[in-house]
Each structure stands twice: as C-alpha cells, then as structure tokens.
A and B are shown apart, each in its own frame.
Chain A
Amino acid sequence: MHSLSNRRGLGFWLQLGFTLLVCALLTVPMVMSMLAGLTANYFVGLKSGLTLRWVDEVLRVYSGTILLSLQIAFACLACTLVLGVPAAYALARRPGRFARLVEEMLMMPVAIPGLATALALIVTYGGVGDLRSSWLFILIGHVLFTLPFMVRAVLAVMGAIDLTTLEEGAASLGASFLRRFFTVVLPNCRSGILAGSLMVLTLSVGEFNLTWLLHTPLTKTLPVGLADSYASLRIEIGSAYTLVFFLMIVPSLILLQGLAKRGRPSV
C-alpha cells in the first residue's frame, strides 16, 4: 500500500499528464482531419452538419489514384516476396560478414533519401522506352524501398528458429530442397512473412518521397493525389481524402501492432 501511494505521487501525475499531452499532439490532428472530411463546412464547424459529400467527391475524382496505389502495393508485395524471402533464407543459412554486408547494402535505399534514389532512376532509366510513363517505373522504386523491410522481417524469424536442425530433420527423411523450403521453412517463418508483407503494403501505399519524382500525370498514386488536394482544394476534400487513406492503412497497422504484441519480431 505504501509503495502504491508512493508510486502515484506528484511525479506520477506529472508524467502521466505529459504523456497524455504527447498523445493528444499525435491524435488530435488525426481526429480533427477525420471530422473535417465529414463536416459540411469546416469553416462554420460541426454545427453545419455531417455529410459524406466530400468522401463521395474524393471517390469520384480520385478513385484512379486509389486503385493505382493498391495495384502498385500488391505488385510490390509480390516482387518483395519472390525476391526477398529466398534472399533472407540465403542470408540466414550463411550468417557472417558477407551476409551482414549484403543486408547493409539492401538497406541503402532506405538510408538514402527517396529523392536521391528517384533522381538516380530517372537519369539512368528515364529514357528507356516507355518506362518513364509506365506505372512500372514507380513499382521499381517501391520495390527497392520496401525490399529491406521484407528481408529483415523474415530474417528476424529465421534467426530465432533453429532452421538448420529443422531442415536436417526433413532432409534425413529424404525431403528434397524444394519440398523442405515450401513445407518446412516457409510455414515456420509465416509470422515474419506476414509482418513483412503488412509492412510492405503499408509503406508502398504511403510512399511519397520517391513517387513524387517518378510519377507522371497519368500515373498518380494516392499520396501524390493527397499532395495535389492539399495544395489546391478546399480543406474538406483534403480531409476526406486523408480519411480514405487512413481507412486503407489502419487495418494493416492494427494487425502489425497485434503481431508485435505477440512478441513476434516485426520491423
């Protein structure tokens, strides 16, 4: 009892107040923007009434950007799975200086600002065929940026389980490599693959630094459209658009938090 009252002294309440203030700093603007997207007239305030008019308008004008972002995100997920999971396996089976160097190199597109990566892609591949005006150009940038997150998430799980013993067991029973990979290795890494996949989808849907330079008027993604709407349209539309974006990424963010809470390594 004494320790409890001691713990909940002035210091406790001051720190709680401070933490709540920080939390308010982060969440109040989110709530404000969601409400603004549903308010008939933000300048007048909530008393002007709630409406789905702005959300409708966003879906009508910007559905192209939403679909393109989803298309790129899932294509990006496919690429990072095909490239990243085998690479993570190779790195996990041979830990050491070389594996660390490879991991470090793969992290470079995250360490170097997206603006620089996008410029590098444009000066190198901007003139190759129709690539510059294709959505594939954006996809390339997104794959570079998200691949390390997939590799790290999978590698973290592969490092935690005893891959060698599991595989040796399967091999001693006569399982071929492909069979071991698909029936022993992959199922044992599914939490890492899931965490990596959610991370890749979330990051790709929200990617702006690379995409702003890589996009063309015909290949606008959701964040590009967001920047457009913030700059030129009324605040209700920008807010409604942001609300649509939140609705798209919130499910995967909640799942990621759930995975992290279960103690599984997330990125």
Chain B
Amino acid sequence: MSACLQEAPLPHRPAARPPAGPGWVGEPLRLAALLAPAAAVFAAFFLLPLVRLILIGAGGAEGWSAYLTTLVDPGHLDSLISTLALSAGVTLVTLAVSTIAGLFLVRHHFPGHAVLVALLTFPLAFPGVVIGFMVIMLAGRQGLIGTITQALTGGKLVFAYSMAGLFLGYVYFSIPRVILTVMAAAEKLDPRLEEAARSLGAAPWRVVADVILPALKPALISAGALCFATSMGAFGTAFTLATRINVLPMTIYTEFTLQANIAAAAALSVLLGLITWAALAVARSVAGTSVAAAG
C-alpha cells in the first residue's frame, strides 16, 4: 500500500516561475534583496554568536573533549537526567489531559463552549515568570492547595518551591498550546470513519483507541515534541520558584553567573540547544511546517 503511494507521481506544486516580460527581468535579484536584511541581521546576531558559543565550549585546555567532560560531570549529568525526566513526564501528562479536554470540546457544543475554549487557551503567551507566580498562587505558602489541605486535614500541603511545583508550572504552560493542536486536528477528522466503526458495533473506547487516537497521532507527536522542547529549555518558571531546582537551564545560569565558568555554561547551552532543536525537528517532520513554538 505504502509502496503504491510512493510510486505515484508527486503532485505538482503550482509553479512560481516569473512570466516572461520586461517587468519581471530582475525578479530573482529583487527577491534576494528583500530577503537580505533579515538574513544579514540573522547571520550577524544569531549565527555568528552561536558559532562563537560553540567554539568557547571547546576553548579550554581540553579542546573539543571538554564537551564530553562537561557532560559526564556528575552534577551536570544529574541535572540533565532530571530535566529529561521532568520534560518527559510533563509531556505525557499534558498530552493525556489535553487530548481528553480537546476531544470533548470538539465533539460537544453547549452553552458557554466558546468561553471555555477562550479561557483554556488564555495562558498561551504568559512568560515563565508569571507561570511560576501562578504556581505559587496554587501551591505556595499562602496558596490555594495549602489552604484547602489545611482545612481538610490540618496539614498544609506546599510544593511550589520544588520539582513538583515546576512540574505543575510546565503542565500549566503547555496545556493551552496542546489543546489547540488537538482541537485543530480533531476538527479535521472524518466523522464517517467513526460512524462506520460504531455501526459495525465497536464500543466507544474501541472507537477512541482504534480510530480517533491513530488519526490524531501526528498532531500528538508534534505537540508532544513541542511541549518537551519547551520544558527542557524554559528558565523563567524555575527561576521564580527556586533557584536551587536542579534543571539544566538553572545549572547553566549558575555556572555562568555564580561560578563564572563560561566554557561549561557554553558547552551545556550548546547541548541543551541541540536537544530542543532535535525535538522540534521531530515535530516539524511529523506535522509539516505548521507547528509554531514559543518560549
């Protein structure tokens, strides 16, 4: 089946060739000139500094092997592993929560539906520091969860200033984006497939497991990769909650500011950049180019 598809001729893109005529002669040159300012700024202020950063990471006495030494340093390795574990956990929980809520919102319309969707997607552009503050509001010393648990059990549950608080913050931050992606994908599903499955006697959970989830898979992978990359690289939330939370961005920050170990900070930044960039490359290759990310 897939072999058949591969052998089929590729659909032609509408050609963007300029028609012949005097007005169109300089077109390639003109397009290059229009692209040039953005390219120049990008090269000068991003590519060049990035190359510099990569070289600094290898600038010590050890040369390029400094990358390996930095990585296997027990403190750094710990921080890398806990960041990976945190991001993977956040991704799984966010995907589960957002798929349930997103599917529900696409399949049912009821009074207040639009308001609910608007509220769920509102925190989309909140910066990490504000997310951190929201976690403090929920799970901090004077937070809602503490107040409720004190009233119920007498003990105050406070977990904002730890890995658990960071976990809650990243889930908070990721839910709106993943819900939007799930809803966009679910709206494109062919309802006839689902009806066919149901008319053949499939139980509701079978329809979800065998029809809906497979159809949503590309969207879920791409949203998940995006969520993972954001959790790996985010800095503001951890910074607000507690500077001693052992995640990679905090480690880089400490190496740079407190230890003044610029080579290690550079090497770890390059490593972190590679991880997030690879995750987002996965997202794009699965979902085409329609994926957007935000810090």
Contacts and interface: CB of A to CB of B under 8 A. Distances in A.
Interface of A: 7, 11-12, 15-16, 18-20, 22-23, 25-30, 32-33, 36, 42-43, 82-84, 86-87, 89-91, 93-96, 100, 102-117, 119-121, 123-125, 140, 143-145, 147, 149, 151-152, 164, 168, 171, 176-177, 199, 202-203, 206-209, 212-213, 223, 226-227, 230-231, 235, 238-239, 242, 245, 249, 253, 257, 267
B127 A223 contact: yes
A227 B276 CA distance: 25
B121 interface: yes
Contacts of B41: 83, 143-144, 147
Contact of B130 (A18, A86, A171, A226): A226
Nearest to A83: B38
A211 B101 CA distance: 34
Q: Interface majority SS on B: helix, strand, loop or mixed?
A: helix
User: Which of B132, B136, B294 counts the most A-chain CB atoms under 10 A from its CB?
Assistant: B294
Interface stretch (B4-12, B17-25, B69-77, B209-217): B17-25
B258 interface: no
Contact of A106 (B30, B31, B42): B42
A90 B122 contact: no
A239 B143 CA distance: 13
Interface stretch (B60-68, B112-120, B149-157): B112-120
Interface of B: 13-14, 16, 19, 21, 23-24, 27, 30-32, 34-35, 37-39, 41-42, 45-46, 48-50, 52-53, 56, 97, 100-101, 104-105, 108, 110, 116, 118-130, 132-138, 142, 144, 172, 175-176, 204, 229, 232-236, 239-240, 249, 252-253, 256, 262, 265-266, 269-270, 272-273, 276-277, 280-281, 284, 289, 292-295
9 tightest Cβ-Cβ pairs between the two chains A and B: A113-B233, A120-B49, A116-B269, A206-B127, A86-B34, A87-B38, A29-B137, A29-B134, A124-B49
A108 B277 contact: yes
A249 B125 contact: yes
Contacts of B31: 89-90, 93-94
B105 to A, nearest CB: 7
B119 A23 contact: yes
B13, B30, B295: residue with the most chain A Cβ atoms closer than 10 Å:
B295
Given A227-B129, A253-B124, 18 more contacts: A19-B100, A27-B122, A29-B135, A29-B137, A82-B37, A94-B16, A106-B38, A113-B272, A114-B235, A124-B49, A145-B295, A147-B41, A177-B23, A177-B30, A208-B239, A209-B235, A227-B240, A253-B125
Contacts of A124: 48-49, 52-53
24 contacts: A11-B204, A15-B108, A22-B97, A22-B120, A32-B137, A36-B137, A83-B37, A84-B38, A90-B31, A93-B27, A96-B16, A102-B39, A104-B284, A113-B273, A113-B295, A119-B266, A124-B49, A144-B46, A149-B294, A206-B125, A223-B236, A226-B127, A230-B132, A245-B130
Contact of A103 (B108, B137, B289): B289
Contacts of B233: 112-116, 209
Given A19-B101, A87-B34, A230-B240, A119 B129 contact: no
A103 to B, nearest CB: 7
Contacts of A267: 292
A136 B27 CA distance: 34
Contacts of B14: 164
Contact of A208 (B53, B110, B129, B284): B129
A120 B265 CA distance: 10
A84 B38 CA distance: 7
B46 A171 contact: no
Contact of B239 (A19, A145, A227): A227
A15 B295 contact: no
A208 B127 contact: yes
A28 B16 CA distance: 51
A32 B144 contact: yes
Where chain A touches its partner, the secondary structure class is: helix
Q: Which of B123, B130, B138 has most A Cβ within 10 Å?
A: B130
Given A23-B116, A89-B34, A227-B129, A209 B123 contact: no
Nearest to A227: B129
A28 B34 contact: no
Contacts of A235: 136, 142
A253 to B, nearest CB: 6
Contact of A115 (B48, B120, B252): B252
A108 B120 CA distance: 28
B23 A147 contact: no
A27 to B, nearest CB: 5
Contacts of A106: 38, 42
A77 B226 CA distance: 25
Nearest to A84: B38
Most buried by B among A7, A90, A93, A115: A115
A55 to B, nearest CB: 16
Most buried by B among A11, A20, A120, A206: A120
